[in-house]
Amino acid sequence: MDELDSEIVRLLQTDARQSNRELARKLGIAPSTCLERVRALTRRGVIRGYHADIDPAALNRRVQALVSVGIRPLSRSVVDTFKDFASGLPEVLSVFVISGGDDFVLHVAVQDLDSLHLFLTKRLSKRREITGFRTSVIFQQVGNTAPARLPDPS
């Protein structure tokens, strides 16, 4: 990725709905050049898609939490089965397979604390492969969608 590709990605992360013509104008390049660059970024897998950023609170999902989950036995089939199960739950926004003391972190959003308690007791605690879980309620979330930049080597 060169500087132009990085700037295209940054501008699309800011507003993915802008037209190719508007994007090209901001970059100071021809629309045809811009379109080809965006298509190349998509083909290379840098741009994976476009989505709407939805506020869970606007959907009456005001309580968010991170749930750390341990499973056993730690085998490919058990990991894949749990990952598929968790990602299919309507309360789960993201599933992270991690290293360390826990095996997964689930980012969940629910209506209230009672709903979070029900999610933990009705959905998770009934799974036989789960050895334990810990829940951290999220008080605030600050997002940074900018791609990580490598430090300047100098």
Domain of residue 15, CATH code? 1.10.10.10
Tokens, residue 83: 């990952």
Tell the residue number behind the tokens 């390049």, with chain if given: 29
* Strand order across the beta sheet in which 92-97 lies: 92-97, 104-110, 63-71, 130-138
Q: What's 69's domain CATH number?
A: 3.30.70.920
What is the residue type of 131? T
Return the pLDDT at 73: 94
Q: Is the torsion defined by CA of 15, 17, 22, 27 positive or negative?
A: positive
Q: What is the mean pLDDT of residues 34-61?
A: 93
Range from 38-42, 63-67, 124-128, 146-150 carrying the lowest mean pLDDT: 146-150
Backbone angles phi, psi at 117, to 5 degrees: -60, -45
Domain annotation covers residue 23: yes
Tokens, residue 111: 């209506």
Question: For residue 107, which of 65, 56, 146 has the smallest C-alpha distance?
Answer: 65
- Indicate whether 60 and 112 sit together in one domain: yes
User: For residues 82 and 103, what is the distance between their CA atoms, to the nearest angstrom?
Assistant: 10
Q: What is the pTM of this model?
A: 0.79
- pLDDT bracket for residue 142 (50, 70, 90): confident
Q: Is the distance from CB of 109 to CB of 93 less than 8 angstroms?
A: yes
Tokens, residue 108: 């969940």
Return the pLDDT at 145: 60
104: containing domain? 56-138
- pLDDT bracket for residue 101 (50, 70, 90): very high
Domain tally for the chain?
2
